[in-house]
Structure 1
Amino acid sequence: MKEFFRGVAKVIVPPLVYLLMRIIWWTTSKKFHFISPVSEVQHVCVCWHGELLMSPQAYRKIHRKQPASAIISSHFDGSLIAGTLQLLGIRPLRGSTKKGAKQVLLQAFKSIKQGEEVLITPDGPRGPRHSMSDGAVGIALKSNLPIFIMNFTAENYWQLKSWDRFVIPKPFTKVDFYLQSVSLEGMDFEEAKEYLREKMLEHTIP
């Protein structure tokens, strides 16, 4: 019975979440701040797990036709996220850089070779919040690609009590997006992880 209800949820929930995302998107006032130029070159793209309601939409606003995939956990809630992102034209790669890492990383490198940009939440799928897993940095260093950072803040918002403190901007509020391209060239692994985390914390809701 549990599997039946989960199967139903996988069909029903993503379109409803997508509709909610679009309603909030359409009813908010948005301003885009390019902290550094984001060129047309291929990137590895990152946002915090708690910013997933808006950041993928900002990505599609800027890169309307860019082929993209996203690393999404193999858990049930990951299935709901995957179904929602597919409605934005973002292909899911199931697994995480903590569990099933080898398989999902191979998928990510294959996607990059095919010209896709790979989206990752470095603190997903289960946190801790604003922590930095190895995945985004490892893929960027191995592929020699810059990282496209997407953050946002909102004047008025709801913040869930979940581990990621998920942020939902209130309709008709102002949302500021902060976008930047950073290079990890010349850094060692741990230095690159700390640098990326610092950059991602510059413009985010506490």
Structure 2
Amino acid sequence: MWPFALLVRLWGLSLRFELTPADLAAYTKKDEPVAIILWHNRLFLAAEIVRRFRHGRTPYALVSASQDGAWLTAFFALAGLRAVRGSSSRLGREAATALVETLRAGYDVGITPDGPRGPCYELKPGTVIVTRRTHTPMLLVGGEFTSAWRLRSWDRFYLPKPFSRVRMRCEVITADQLADRDAGTAMLRERLLALNPDLPDVSAAESRRL
């Protein structure tokens, strides 16, 4: 896995992150464990977020206990991330328990609220359950790409082009803001969508011109 990990590292280093002082303060919040929340199609940014902003607070990400998950665990280790193994389907009870235990042990966790199979931008309620049970703040991650490729996957995964600019955003959500689970879930989805505007669909734009 190391050649691929090295390629991703060099690719990430080439990206030019742009962010405000307020965004930087949120990204570097280290006074307590946090849950880092980002859409599945922004996962390419995860290793660079950890490398640039989370020194000494390496987060754990939930990875399937399957054989495929073993490969992802190995890649995460090379990229500077750690893994919690468990069933991640729909962020159910097993996954929530693993993440809760990790937070209570004093470590950060990373959650893709619409992963691992989508639908894209559908926030699963387990995201809120984990942070409410531990009274943990969330860091909502935003990444707006100026130039990127999009894969033909269920989430239209973003691959930012090397040396391109990425407008990085980050917003802190406290546990008190999630006191009402349903309202909190709706609010989180709304905020994540606002922080992560999509690039125009080129094929759709071309179709309109035709």
Same-fold status (TM-score > 0.5) = yes
Superposition pairs of residues 185-204 of structure 1, within 5 angstroms: 185=176, 187-204=179-196
State TM-score, norm by structure 2.
0.82
- Quote the offset at 1:120 in angstroms: 0.6
Instruction: Note if contact 2:90-2:116 (Cα within 8 Å) is conserved in structure 1.
Output: no
How far apart are the structure 1 equivalents of 2:149 and 2:176? 37
Q: Give the whole-Å Cα distance in 1 for the aligned partners of 2:53 and 2:157.
A: 23
Q: Any gaps of 5 or more consecutive residues in structure 2?
A: 199-210
Query: Could you say which residue in structure 2 is the equivalent of 1:130?
Result: 121
Contact 1:67 1:115 in 2 (8 A): no
> Equivalences for 1:36-185 in 2 at 5 Å?
37-38=25-26, 39-40=29-30, 41-98=32-89, 101-185=92-176
CA deviations 1:43-68 (Å, max 9, x no partner) are: 11111111111133213311111142
1:32 aligns with 2:19: yes
Cα separation, 2, equivalents of 1:199 and 1:99: 21
Higher relative contact order (CA 8 A, sep 6+): 1
Residue 197 of structure 1 aligns with an amino acid whose one-letter code is R
| Alpha-carbon distance change, 194 to 184 in structure 1, aligned in 2, over 3 angstroms | farther
Indicate the residue corresponding to 1:8 in structure 2.
none
Instruction: Report % sequence identity.
Output: 25
Structure 2: distance between partners of 1:149 and 1:56: 15
- Assess if the C-alpha contact under 8 Å between 1:85 and 1:91 holds in 2: yes
Q: Is the alpha carbon distance of 1:102 and 1:147 closer, same or farther for their aligned partners in structure 2, counting shifts above 3 Å?
A: same
Q: CA deviation at 1:189?
A: 1.1
In the TM superposition, what whole-angstrom CA distance separates every residue of 1:115-166 from its partner, at most 9, and x where no partner exists?
1011110000000001111222111111111101112112111011100111
SS at match of 2:149: strand
Contact map agreement 1:147 1:182 (CA 8 A) in 2: yes
Relative to 1, partners in 2 of residues 1:193 and 1:68: Cα closer, same or farther, differing over 3 Å? same
Distance 1:153 1:100 in 2: 26
Q: Between Structure 1 and Structure 2, how many residues are aligned? A: 193
**Residues 1:166 and 1:78: Cα distance change in structure 2 (over 3 Å):** farther
* Secondary structure at the counterpart of residue 114 of structure 2: coil
CA 1:124–1:63: 2 relative to 1, 3 Å: same
- What do you get for the CA RMSD once the two structures are aligned? 2.1
**TM-score for the superposition, normalised by structure 1:** 0.83
More displaced stretch, 186-195 vs 26-35? 26-35
Query: Which residue matches 2:5?
Result: 18
